[in-house]
Chain A
Amino acid sequence: MSETIVQTNKLVKKYRRGKIEIYALNGVDFEALRGEIVGVVGPSGSGKTTLLNMIGGLDKPTGGTVVVDGRDLTKLDAGELADFRLKKIGFIFQFYNLLPIYTALENVEVPLSFAKVPKEEREERAFELLRLVGLETRVDHKPDELSGGEQQRVAIARALANRPSIILADEPTGDLDSESAISLMKLIRKLKEQHNQTFINVTHDPLVVQECTKVYTIRDGRIQLNEKT
């Protein structure tokens, strides 16, 4: 049994909308092991993305704890959280969120430059990552010159830049055709096998669910571990 890398304990996130309190998360216990591909499914507005944001240190919980790679995120300040995201987490978004002014290579370089990696090493690593995702011939293209599938591969390369232990993906195939989605999931599986990274995917897509080693369902802020079929 491999080690636990993400663990939430009685996680609560409360929003106030006017006078009404809304529980986006209401006592969520979640666990992911190193090297797992975890799926989180559930209807829109069920709290999936909120959970992902808590694990990624983008948002603070109202109650409970989030421990990622041995660190309790609720005890970190904004600067420490930024540093944590930079080094431990890679994000993948439904709409890729690449920076439109930059080439594929430069987009992958951005997190490296935030981590103050020197220029030459940065370029070398970015190129290496793009080759890993099969885009070594597209390094000088800007996002609007790439297909959706290619853009998402650039986003994955960017997420991997600082060798994070966890990749958080919010609907990674949500904007892709099934062919691209299939090859994207193949890539994720390959990366997991090569680097033993942990992937947590929030998704609706059965193609993604199929690749997961375990799947949680969230409904109305409560979580439940599915039996793998």
Chain B
Amino acid sequence: MSALNMALKSLGRRKLRTALTVSGIVVGIAMTLVFLSLVAGMDIQAAQMVRAIGGADITVVNATRMTRQQFQQGIINTLDESLVTIIEGVNGVYDTSLQLSLRMFVNSTGVPINGIDPSTYSVVTGGLNVINGSSLSEGSEKEVVLGKIFADSLNATIGGNVIVSSAQQDGESYEIIGIYETGIALQDRGCYITLDEVQNMSNKENLITAILVKCVDPNEVPTIRETIASLLPDARIVSPSAAIQQVSNLLNTVRMFLFSIGLIALMAGGFGVINTMITSISERTREIGTLKAIGAKDQQILKIFMSEALLLGLIGGGVGVSIGIIFSILFPMFSGGLSGLTIPGIGGRLPGGGSGFPGGVSISPAILPSNILLCFSLGIVVGVLAGFYPAWRAARMRPVEALRHV
């Protein structure tokens, strides 16, 4: 016969109304959780993308944008290696690394192959995220590091061999020394060998697709970027920090947008609770009068009605979170048939990696425990806040007037 017990019975007695009120909170909570999960999913994708872009502070690539047709014909926009001396002359540049990325064949399958200089590559970018075996080194020859997805598709094992060939050259056997993973499918479908080997096989002596630049001071990246841009007006210069900034600005906008819709839905739920509680109190005016007549104090009445509001919030929060989780899990199924949600502007060309596959990045929502907790608490807060005014009104009712109420 505690206040909570009384509240439980009172909600149970009005099952339909309780269900309708709770559903107001449920919709709000579920929507908020789905939206938060979407944003979290985007955050994770963005973080992976940044990792894929690599540790290079600045990446210089050819500015000419390829058409899809050109890309399919295997035409690659290159830069001359000699440009690197201009960049190395810029004040504040710590080191540079050259990369040639193009489409070649591994065991007769067309894949993006990246040629790098192992020693400078690791200085400039921090190296490949090798999850198995080892990475390329200074003296690597006829050695290849495969992306995880590609390696899986080949059933490749460390120490095994693959045949690497190009349109211009016959195949040669390469030993698999490592497998890397970036988390970005596009990247993990490729592989890495040394720059010299790629240049030889593709007859692109002294040509590259990207110059990766490491700066002494990360804070100077924007200035150095400007300097390089003025020295190489025909090149496209990308710095991940700018890309990250762009992505994070975009994500913040999306986050705010989704979060406000969720909040508006929650507020609607909150007004539902207020409405139900006020109706319920005017229906029970005589009951409240009776309780006061038999000796209930104001705070005891307040406790009973606040318990009801708390219960509505708890149920609404719990059910809302569960439905939110279910929808978050189901979300990729709804969007999977399409190309998924895409973040415009960053899907297209990933510098550094060098594969320039056009297209979008699909988002799957990430359900974070912190978001579940947040949404559940929001449900309780909405219930309690919305219940406070009606409960206070009930507690303050004058017993004589409440008893006279028919």
Residues of A within 8 A of B (CB): 53, 56, 58-59, 78-79, 82-83, 85-87, 89-91, 93, 97, 99-102, 106, 109-111, 113-115, 119, 122, 158-159, 162
Q: How far is the CA of A110 from the CA of B294 in the complex (A)?
A: 9
Partner of B287, one of A99, A122, A162: A99
B297 within 8 A of A: yes
**Judging by beta carbons under 8 Å apart, are A87 and B400 in contact?**
no
Residues of B within 8 A of A (CB): 1-2, 9-10, 12-13, 286-287, 289-298, 300, 399-400, 403
**Residue in B closest to A95 when the chains form the complex, CB atoms:** B286
Using Cβ atoms and an 8 Å threshold, which residues of chain B touch A97?
A: 286-287, 289-290, 293, 403
Partner of B295, one of A59, A99, A115, A122: A115
**Judging by beta carbons under 8 Å apart, are B298 and A82 in contact?**
yes
**Judging by beta carbons under 8 Å apart, are B403 and A58 in contact?**
yes
**Judging by beta carbons under 8 Å apart, are B295 and A85 in contact?**
yes
Using Cβ atoms and an 8 Å threshold, which residues of chain B touch A114?
A: 294-297, 300
Using Cβ atoms and an 8 Å threshold, which residues of chain A touch B289?
A: 97
Using Cβ atoms and an 8 Å threshold, which residues of chain A touch B286?
A: 97
The 21 listed contacts between A and B (C-beta, < 8 Å) are A53-B400, A56-B293, A58-B292, A58-B400, A78-B298, A79-B298, A82-B297, A86-B296, A91-B290, A93-B403, A97-B286, A99-B287, A99-B291, A100-B13, A102-B9, A111-B294, A111-B295, A114-B300, A122-B1, A159-B294, A162-B295
| Contact of A85 with B400 at beta-carbon distance under 8 Å, contacts A78-B298, A99-B287, A102-B9 already known | no
Q: How far is the CA of A125 from the CA of B13 in the complex (A)?
A: 26
Q: How far is the CA of A162 from the CA of B294 in the complex (A)?
A: 10
Using Cβ atoms and an 8 Å threshold, which residues of chain A touch B12?
A: 101
**Residue in A closest to B10 when the chains form the complex, CB atoms:** A101
Using Cβ atoms and an 8 Å threshold, which residues of chain A touch B10?
A: 101
**Residue in A closest to B398 when the chains form the complex, CB atoms:** A59
Using Cβ atoms and an 8 Å threshold, which residues of chain B touch A56?
A: 293
**Judging by beta carbons under 8 Å apart, are B293 and A110 in contact?**
no
Using Cβ atoms and an 8 Å threshold, which residues of chain A touch B13?
A: 100-101
| Contact of A82 with B292 at beta-carbon distance under 8 Å, contacts A58-B400, A59-B400, A99-B287 already known | yes
**Judging by beta carbons under 8 Å apart, are B290 and A83 in contact?**
no
Q: How far is the CA of A83 from the CA of B299 in the complex (A)?
A: 12
| Contact of A110 with B399 at beta-carbon distance under 8 Å, contacts A83-B297, A101-B9 already known | no
Quote the shortest CB–CB distance from B406 to chain A (angstroms): 9
Using Cβ atoms and an 8 Å threshold, which residues of chain B touch A122?
A: 1
Using Cβ atoms and an 8 Å threshold, which residues of chain A touch B296?
A: 82, 86, 114
Using Cβ atoms and an 8 Å threshold, which residues of chain B touch A110?
A: 1, 291, 294
Point out which of A82, A89, A97, A162 has the most chain B C-beta atoms below 10 A from its C-beta.
A82
**Residue in B closest to A161 when the chains form the complex, CB atoms:** B294
**Residue in A closest to B399 when the chains form the complex, CB atoms:** A58
**Judging by beta carbons under 8 Å apart, are B9 and A113 in contact?**
no
Quote the shortest CB–CB distance from A130 to chain B (angstroms): 15
**Judging by beta carbons under 8 Å apart, are A91 and B297 in contact?**
no
**Residue in B closest to A50 when the chains form the complex, CB atoms:** B400
Partner of B290, one of A99, A119, A162: A99
Q: How far is the CA of A199 from the CA of B198 in the complex (A)?
A: 107
**Judging by beta carbons under 8 Å apart, are A79 and B295 in contact?**
no
**Residue in A closest to B292 when the chains form the complex, CB atoms:** A82
Q: How far is the CA of A201 from the CA of B348 in the complex (A)?
A: 88
| Contact of A83 with B295 at beta-carbon distance under 8 Å, contacts A99-B287, A102-B9, A106-B1 already known | yes
| Contact of A93 with B290 at beta-carbon distance under 8 Å, contacts A58-B403, A86-B295, A109-B1 already known | yes
**Judging by beta carbons under 8 Å apart, are B293 and A85 in contact?**
yes
**Judging by beta carbons under 8 Å apart, are A86 and B294 in contact?**
yes
Q: How far is the CA of A9 from the CA of B298 in the complex (A)?
A: 29
**Residue in A closest to B12 when the chains form the complex, CB atoms:** A101
Using Cβ atoms and an 8 Å threshold, which residues of chain A touch B400?
A: 53, 58-59
**Residue in A closest to B299 when the chains form the complex, CB atoms:** A79
Using Cβ atoms and an 8 Å threshold, which residues of chain B touch A78?
A: 298
Q: How far is the CA of A114 from the CA of B292 in the complex (A)?
A: 10
Quote the shortest CB–CB distance from A169 to chain B (angstroms): 12
Using Cβ atoms and an 8 Å threshold, which residues of chain B touch A113?
A: 1-2
| Contact of A87 with B295 at beta-carbon distance under 8 Å, contacts A58-B399, A101-B10, A109-B1 already known | yes
